[in-house]
Amino acid sequence: MQDRSNIQQPWYSWGKLVKGEFGWVIKDLIVRWNERQETRQTEAGPETEYVHDAHRFNYKLPAGVQPGQEAVEYYLEQAKSAIIQLAQEYLAQEEGFHGPE
């Protein structure tokens, strides 16, 4: 999927943290990569839009990560490259399953 915004977004956003059957889960984790800017003309003049490749999924936290916002954000930053790679793999699997649009 593509994520578009009029403001620059961080590489991730997350919905809420829930206790799952086997540990804590981040619901609706959105992971973004390949940021690029597109400029389009509007009646008010040129407008910059930030466009990313993105994927939304639920992510199970490792057992050692405490369920607080600071701990989760620290973990996400430490695991950034692995999480982005996982999101890219999920996206590729879904695109392969659904075929070209």
pLDDT tens figures, 37-68? 999 898 999 999 999 999 999 999 999 998 89
pLDDT-based confidence at residue 97 (cuts at 50, 70, 90): low
Q: What average pLDDT does the chain have?
A: 91
Domain count, the chain: 1
Q: Supply the pLDDT for residue 11.
A: 96
Sign of CA dihedral 30, 35, 37, 38: negative
pLDDT-derived band of residue 100, with 50, 70 and 90 as boundaries?
low
* Band (75; pLDDT cuts 50, 70, 90): very high
Residue 28 contacts residue 58 (beta carbons within 8 Å): yes
**Would you call 56 helix, strand, or coil by DSSP?**
strand
**Structural domain boundaries, residue 38:** 2-98
Contact 77, 12 (CB under 8 A): no
pLDDT at 23 exceeding the cut of 60: yes
Q: State residue 99's pLDDT score.
A: 56
CB 33 within 8 A of CB 23: no
